[in-house]
Structure 1
């Protein structure tokens, strides 16, 4: 018998019908002889709905009260899922993060889990219950409700798995695993059977949306095996672990879009130093400099700096991730330039190479890099494995 922590996102519990399907998946896991603890997100669109309500009251809601409001979404979904299981004859109980003993710091809207008191959860599991915990939230030392930021339910699940010493943490989502790139933008992508923690962290940091960067880092630091699975179809998914059985030279291509090239003039040295800490610098001259920022962030900067900054163009960043990618930077740039795609800048980090291109060139650039470096290198890896065998 194993202890499995499962996480279901907003799309997975987006309707009563889908909640009923999730309860069937949980029952299937129980029938395999496992104990199950579940972390659940709010129903799809609910957090945005609550945030919209808050913004109708105030453009900048008070952080503590905003967390109080946003945490309501998960309480709906955990209660409905517990009702579904109970109605099917399965003992289940829902717990808010406070009841589950999830303690955080007091950084409202973006709190960090400090520790989890697992006594109550363990007691219910020992009694044969499925314990359903509200994701995305916790409580600080003063008893205030806090939220963990976007994607926080993944972090809740990983933290629960680590605290409970679970055998596996299963992240159920609307895709059936981690792919070599985003199938919405790139053709002929492949589902990966296994990915190392380091590669998955690099992919998430560079824009891959299947897992949140913080949750991967937490799993890595805690040595919690992660498995990404589909809520809507059966399959093995993708295992995220320390040492994959078949390490790849190039694991995948991450895409980050909706970025703005922002030109800054007449900025004080103190302001410039602060912007340099937060954003990638693209060009620098004596009288001005250019930085790359998310489009949503540009509006905030515009309010702060007014006429001192202006949006020049829209950009995207493509990042190759894997053990052997550092030596591919020049070749990647040459491939793009040969296809009339301008490269504004490239950057080399351990296990990753990033290139910045115009947003309009994202699709073509992704196809070229994926076909040339990801698919080709993985095919060579497979040929080598066959030869060795």
Structure 2
């Protein structure tokens, strides 16, 4: 007998029929003798519907009231799932985040979990019940309902698994695991049997939408084995764990992540003096704009060209800030490009293999794809290229690193 925490996303519980299918799946686990805690999202589209209702009344509703409103979506799902289980003769009990007492800070709409009281859940498990918990929500010290931000149900599931010391946290979604890259771009992309938390964290931060990044951080911190599976297709999914694969022939690269939502800005002819980077990036950061890749080039005339990337939605606002900064610093000009993309190769195997970056650059050069910027870390290499070459580049790299489904997976 094992203790599993299951999390079912909005598409998995999007209709009454799908909720019934989830109940069937849980019945199979229960018949095998396992204990189950189930975290559910709102039915697909429900959160957007609730937000739309709020916006029809007030352009900028109070965050506290928004949390009260949108938290109701998960409550509908948890109650319906418990009814479906009870109809099958399976004892079940539902809990809101507040009833469990998932304690959070008071940052409405983006709260962070501080503590979880699992006494009631453990009591129900000992009594033979399946416990169904509303994801995405908690309460603060004053008892106010809080929510964890979009995708927060993943974090609820992992946090409960950590608090309960569950054998595994299983995230059920509309994909059957983590792939070497997006199968919609590369038809020969493979499902990975296993990936490390480090690799998954990089892929999640670089644009892979399979898991919410905070849930991966949480799982890695508390060493919770995490598995991504499909609600609609049976299979082993992908296990995300602390341990690296110890097989002799392990791949150098586990996957390729990419992000189309990039924009690049350059301030040219800036005096090359101490503190200039802070004077350029400080106002951007104060505007709550996140900066990604940074490159600085010093010219022979002792001026510097400073280039960095931001999210495409922040392009116009950042450019306005830079124009003002350029005047203050006496810079020559500000240039920008909002038709770029970032591609990253990710893999713990890089640590023990030389020449990974050069192999990446060679593969792109063979397709006449120009690299605009480069960023590296211990287990990833990222490049900025023109957006029009994105899919060609991903396919070329996927083949170059033997990630295609019909290729061997070792170097």
How high is the TM-score relative to the length of structure 1? 0.90
Q: 5 Å matches for 1:282-321?
A: 282=294, 289-298=306-315, 305=321, 312-321=337-346
CA contact (8 A) 2:158 2:219 kept: yes
Q: Gapped runs of 5+ residues in structure 2?
A: 271-275, 298-302, 325-333
Q: By how many angstroms is 1:29 displaced?
A: 0.7
C-alpha separation in 1, matches of 2:73 and 2:64: 16
Q: Does 1:278 align with 2:261?
A: no
Change (3 A) 1:363 1:87: same
SS in 2 for 1:375: coil
C-alpha separation in 1, matches of 2:393 and 2:36: 43
The answer for the alignment partner of 2:259 in structure 1 is 256
The answer for the alignment partner of 2:330 in structure 1 is none
C-alpha separation in 2, matches of 1:69 and 1:155: 20
The answer for the alignment partner of 2:273 in structure 1 is none
C-alpha separation in 2, matches of 1:102 and 1:200: 26
The answer for the alignment partner of 1:387 in structure 2 is none
**Deviation sequence 1:6-47 (CA, Å, 0-9, x none):** 000011011111111111111111111101000011111111
Change (3 A) 1:316 1:131: same
CA contact (8 A) 2:188 2:406 kept: no
SS in 1 for 2:81: helix
C-alpha separation in 2, matches of 1:289 and 1:196: 35
Change (3 A) 1:19 1:195: same
C-alpha separation in 1, matches of 2:48 and 2:156: 20
**Deviation sequence 1:57-111 (CA, Å, 0-9, x none):** 3333322222112111111111111111112211111110010121111111111
Q: Gapped runs of 5+ residues in structure 1?
A: 385-389
Q: By how many angstroms is 1:354 displaced?
A: 0.7
SS in 1 for 2:27: helix
CA contact (8 A) 1:176 1:228 kept: yes
Change (3 A) 1:184 1:273: same
Bigger Rg, structure 1 or 2: 2
Change (3 A) 1:364 1:270: same
Q: Does 1:334 align with 2:362?
A: yes
Q: By how many angstroms is 1:307 displaced?
A: 7.3
Q: Does 1:348 align with 2:376?
A: yes
C-alpha separation in 1, matches of 2:234 and 2:342: 33
SS in 1 for 2:261: strand
**Deviation sequence 1:145-194 (CA, Å, 0-9, x none):** 11111211111000000101111111101111111111011121111111
Change (3 A) 1:344 1:156: same
SS in 2 for 1:325: helix
CA contact (8 A) 1:325 1:353 kept: no
Q: What RMSD in Å do the two structures reach over aligned CA positions?
A: 2.7
SS in 2 for 1:99: helix
Q: 5 Å matches for 1:75-154?
A: 75-154=75-154
CA contact (8 A) 2:403 2:409 kept: no
CA contact (8 A) 2:283 2:321 kept: no
Q: By how many angstroms is 1:207 displaced?
A: 1.4
